[in-house]
Amino acid sequence: MPPNESTVGDWRGDLVESLEARPGVALEVSDGGVTVIQENTRTTIEEQTVAGRDGGQHRALRLETVLRGNLAMPGSARTRAFQLNPRNAIGALTGSPGGRSSAREGLSLVSRVCIDREVPWHPTGRQLTCLVALEAGTALFDRPPAANRQLNRAGLGVWRNGIQSIAGVDPQAWRVTRRSADSLTALPVGEAIPPGARASLFVGAGIAAIGPGFEFVLQLPGAIDDAAALAEQCEALNALECQVATGAPHIGAWSASEQGGCRYQVRVPARFGRRLPDLPRQLLETAADRTTTALALLAGEDRGG
């Protein structure tokens, strides 16, 4: 039996049920997966198995989004790391490691949602998959949709309450260093994590590219002066996210920070708040594993299992 068989069930049927009535969305279903077609994007969802840092095998859904029509993205790793992924919201714009051929260099946004005990298909995995299918890449060329104030207020309220309920210390995962009504800053905890790693969570009305919503940023320690080398590091980290299960869904992107380091960033519109109430905690809980795995790669070590 494939890993985590009991947690997924008929994921194709569930996605069709969730997405078929959405305005502006068309679906193609096959034995290989589901394709979600919107005005500017085409997202293919397929099942795969990925190795975990725990040594086991994890069932996952791989989502690859390509741009439709006359839209195109540059194939430069430096452009992706310094310009495009920093203002992206969902999905990692990658080169050939994420795409299926060199001809698609620079044109794919790749995400991965593992399905296991920590991320059960009902309801978390299904909602995360719907989030990526509907939102990947849209922040790169679409304005935020017209505000639904009631829905936005409800979503922001759910996430604010969630952030406030996060404990100040989890000995195995984080230590909170600052907290306000709308934000939280914490240090990922782990023997292999040096000083300087930092996770930031923010809920508010003015998040770049998406408007009201939730933002998560994981900053790795250190900086590098060589822009080309930094861009290649971000490319390698985005490729690693689809190869190794760290307990965290890969729904965001690694990019270059203003300080010259690597950061992982996710921005989710407020209208998803009630569907994904535990997303802030989930991203924080898995920040230490994501940090450890990323630093191991950058140090030239293979700890993927």
Residues in the chain: 305
Separation CA 133–CA 253 (nearest Å): 15
Separation CA 182–CA 157 (nearest Å): 10
| Residue 144 DSSP class | P
The pTM score is: 0.90
Confidence of residue 248 (pLDDT cuts 50, 70, 90): confident
pLDDT digits (tens, 9 = 90+) for 140-158: 876 666 667 888 999 999 9
pLDDT digits (tens, 9 = 90+) for 41-86: 899 999 988 887 777 888 899 999 988 766 566 668 899 999 999 9
- SS3 labels along 218-284: EECCCCCCCHHHHHHHHHHHHHHHCCEECCCCECCEEEECCCCCEEEEEEEEHHHCCCCCCHHHHHH
Confidence of residue 8 (pLDDT cuts 50, 70, 90): low
User: What's the average model confidence in pLDDT over 182-186?
Assistant: 97
Q: What is the DSSP string of 145-204?
A: PPP-HHHHHHHHHHHHHHHHTS-SEETTTEEEEEE-SSEEEEEE--TT--TT-EEEEEEE
Task: Specify the pLDDT at position 70.
Answer: 60
User: What's the average model confidence in pLDDT over 239-261?
Assistant: 89
59, two tokens: 């069932």
Which of 58, 243, 43, 15 lies closest to 136 in space, CA to CA?
Answer: 43
Task: Give residues with Cβ within 8 angstroms of 59, minimum separation 6.
Answer: 2, 3, 4, 5, 7, 8, 47, 48, 49, 114, 115, 116
State the amino acid at position 250 in one-letter form.
Answer: H
| CB atoms closer than 10 angstroms to residue 30 | 10
Which residues are paired to 188 by β-bridges?
174
Task: Specify the pLDDT at position 261.
Answer: 96
